[in-house]
Structure 1
Amino acid sequence: MKLGRLNHIGVATPSIADSVAYYREVMGATSITEAFDLPEQGVKVCFVDTPGHDGTAGTQVELIEPLGPDSTLAGFLAKNPLGGQHHVCFEVPDIEAARAHFEGLGKRILGPTRIGAHGTPIFFLHPRDMMGQLTEIMETPKGAH
């Protein structure tokens, strides 16, 4: 298994609308996707695009808001009411090979492989096995890079 590109940093927020305003007004972001619901994950999502140094797409900031009190993200915001960094996401060419790699190392995978916000398979690794950081592993979208 080889570490792929850092695709995005997930940022939990109590209000995507307020966070979008912040990224536009304070950070000067000009490319932000429309928010959409991911009910199977209990969140609303949108992406802030950042430019790469060579003019290509850079790393995205994924803004995530809970869809309700039963969302696991609601628990995160209960402990961090202002929001904050939730996870990092790395791309891999083959999600099943990556899953087998991490399982072979004894890393705890949180739930089954499922389809994530980019429409590709993902899984999460337990923070206690990843230096304290919730880590998302995502199959590189077809046609990307």
Structure 2
Amino acid sequence: MKLGRLNHIGIATPSIADSIAHYRETMGATQITEPFDLPAQGVKVCFVDTPTGSDGSGGMNGTQIELIEPLGEDSPIHGFLAKNPAGGQHHVCFEVEDVAEARAWFEGQGKRVLGPTRIGAHGTPIFFLHPKDMMGQLTEIMETPRDH
């Protein structure tokens, strides 16, 4: 298994609309996707593109900020926000070429995988690793999108 690029940093928020305003007004972000619901995961998400290269262009080649808002009380993000009402860093996401191979690699090392492999917000297979096995950080492993 080979570590891929840092795809995104997940930020839990009680309000995507307020967070979008913050990234636009305070951070000067210009490329933000339209929020969309992921009912299977109980969240609403959108992505803030960060600049890449000297021309400042963003997009899928740059690391993104994933803003995550709970869809309801059942959302896994709801518990995080109960402990962190203002929101905050929720997870980091790394790309891999083959998510099944990566899952087997981590399981072979005795790392705890949280739940089944499923389709994530980028439309590719993902899984999460327990923070206690990853230096205190919830870690998402994502298969690199084939069109990028």
Whether these two folds match at TM > 0.5 is yes
The aligned counterpart of 1:118 is 122
Give 3-state SS (helix, strand or coil) of 1:64's partner. Answer: strand
CA distance in 1, matches of 2:74, 2:43: 10
| Deviation >2 Å, runs of 4+ | 53-57
The aligned counterpart of 1:134 is 138
CA distance in 2, matches of 1:12, 1:34: 16
- Paired letter, 1:96: A
Q: Which deviations, in whole Å up to 9, do the C-alpha atoms of 1:6-62 show, x marking residues without a partner?
A: 000000000000000000000000000000000000000000001113556310000
The aligned counterpart of 1:18 is 18
Is 1:104 the counterpart of 2:114? The answer is no
- Paired letter, 1:119: G
Q: Which deviations, in whole Å up to 9, do the C-alpha atoms of 1:64-89 show, x marking residues without a partner?
A: 00000111100000000000000000
CA distance in 1, matches of 2:54, 2:97: 22
The aligned counterpart of 2:73 is 69
Identity %: 79
- Paired letter, 2:140: E
- Paired letter, 2:26: V
The aligned counterpart of 1:48 is 48
Unpaired runs of 5+ in structure 1? Answer: none
Q: Which deviations, in whole Å up to 9, do the C-alpha atoms of 1:87-137 show, x marking residues without a partner?
A: 000000000000000000000000000000000000000000000000000
Give 3-state SS (helix, strand or coil) of 1:40's partner. Answer: helix
The aligned counterpart of 2:88 is 84
Unpaired runs of 5+ in structure 2? Answer: none
The aligned counterpart of 1:34 is 34
Aligned residue pairs, count:
144
For normalisation by structure 1, the TM-score amounts to 0.97
Is 1:4 the counterpart of 2:4? The answer is yes
- Paired letter, 2:19: S
- Paired letter, 1:24: R
CA distance in 2, matches of 1:99, 1:134: 15
